[in-house]
Structure 1
Amino acid sequence: MTAIRRRWLPRLGAMALTGLLGLYVALVASRAVALMRTGEPVGVALGVAFLVLPVIAIWFVVREWRLAVAGQRMADELAGQGELQVDDLPRSPSGRIDRAAARVAFEDVRREAEANRGDWAAWYRLAFAYDAAGDRKRAREALRRAAGLHRAG
């Protein structure tokens, strides 16, 4: 697979899924408005309740896209400086990262981030160390912190 295809295929998939979610949100919102226009108390209550769901969905999608764009900007900046970390962790034949090795490597990265709390690059590396170690929740938190520091700096 070419480098261009590897770079754009996931983006196109994410854009397609976002488009489908947008269509779903529009349909739910139109039904919610139709329910509210009935004037019946139950219809209005259901319409308002159904209108809240699209608003929440839009908020989550915007939040995730902003994080994805920020993550790509940070990666591009680090790559431009020659500081983008290479994933050289051992893998199983199926391609899964060896979790024990990831945990060992994680400790060094965690210490670096704790020592440099205001360094977005350290938090960016910590996010990917968390991900390699299998802790996706903390990985996203660290990436959000890196993005916040990157925007502020």
Structure 2
Amino acid sequence: MTRGVLFVAALVVALAFYFALLGRTAVLLIAAGGPVSVGLGIGVLILPLLGVWVVAATLRAGYTHQRLARRIRSEGRELDVSDLPRRASGRIDRAAADELFQQIKIEWVADPDNWRSSYRLARAYDYAGDRPRARETMRRAVALERLDRP
């Protein structure tokens, strides 16, 4: 297993432990019986339920994005950014990322209903530093890929 997978697994285990403690505390508060403690118990019980939902949704999205990345890579259509200039931090130079984005946007405009062009556009948005649009476009790529599966 890779380091990243082990790190995510450790975080999920730690969160599961934390959610279990919160759940236990919620049950104890509800069992205490007073109106305030029951109210607090219900409020505390919502937190681990919400946390489980967030963790599950994040893991599902990560798995789906990895699947799309593997498909793109296997088709030889992954964005090649190896020759783009980089800042001292390692991030792609802003002007180079913007130029890459413009090239990929032209490709996407020509075929907006293809999950591959949406995936590549999402990656270009990410390299250009526009994370909200990258996430939105990646969701579109996932939805289109789901329709494209046999």
TM-score by length of 2: 0.89
1:47-99 Cα deviation digits (max 9, x unpaired)? 11111111111111111111111111111111222222222321124312101
- Per-residue CA distance 1:9-48 (angstroms, 9 max, x = gap): 1121112112111111111111111111111110110011
1:59 aligns with 53
Q: CA–CA distance in 2 between the matches of 1:113 and 1:51?
A: 45
Q: Secondary structure of 2:79's partner?
A: coil
Q: Residue 23 of structure 1 corresponds to which residue in structure 2?
A: 17
**What's 1:121 paired with?**
116
Match in the other structure for 1:99 = 94
Q: How far does residue 137 in structure 1 lie from its aligned partner after superposition?
A: 1.8
Match of residue 90 from structure 1: 85
1:138 aligns with 2:133: yes
CA RMSD of aligned residues (A): 1.5
Q: Distance in 2 between matches of 1:93 and 1:113?
A: 30
Whole-angstrom distance in 2 between the partners of 1:53 and 1:94: 36
Residue 139 of structure 2 is aligned to residue 148 of structure 1: no
Equivalents in 1 of 2:33, 2:77: separation in Å?
61
Count how many residue pairs are aligned between Structure 1 and Structure 2: 147
Off by >4 Å, runs of 4+ in structure 1: none
* TM-score scaled by length of structure 1: 0.88
Percent identical? 42
**Cα separation, 2, equivalents of 1:122 and 1:141:** 14
Equivalent of 1:9 in 3, 23, 29: 3
1:75 is matched with: 69
Structure 2, gaps ≥5 residues long: none
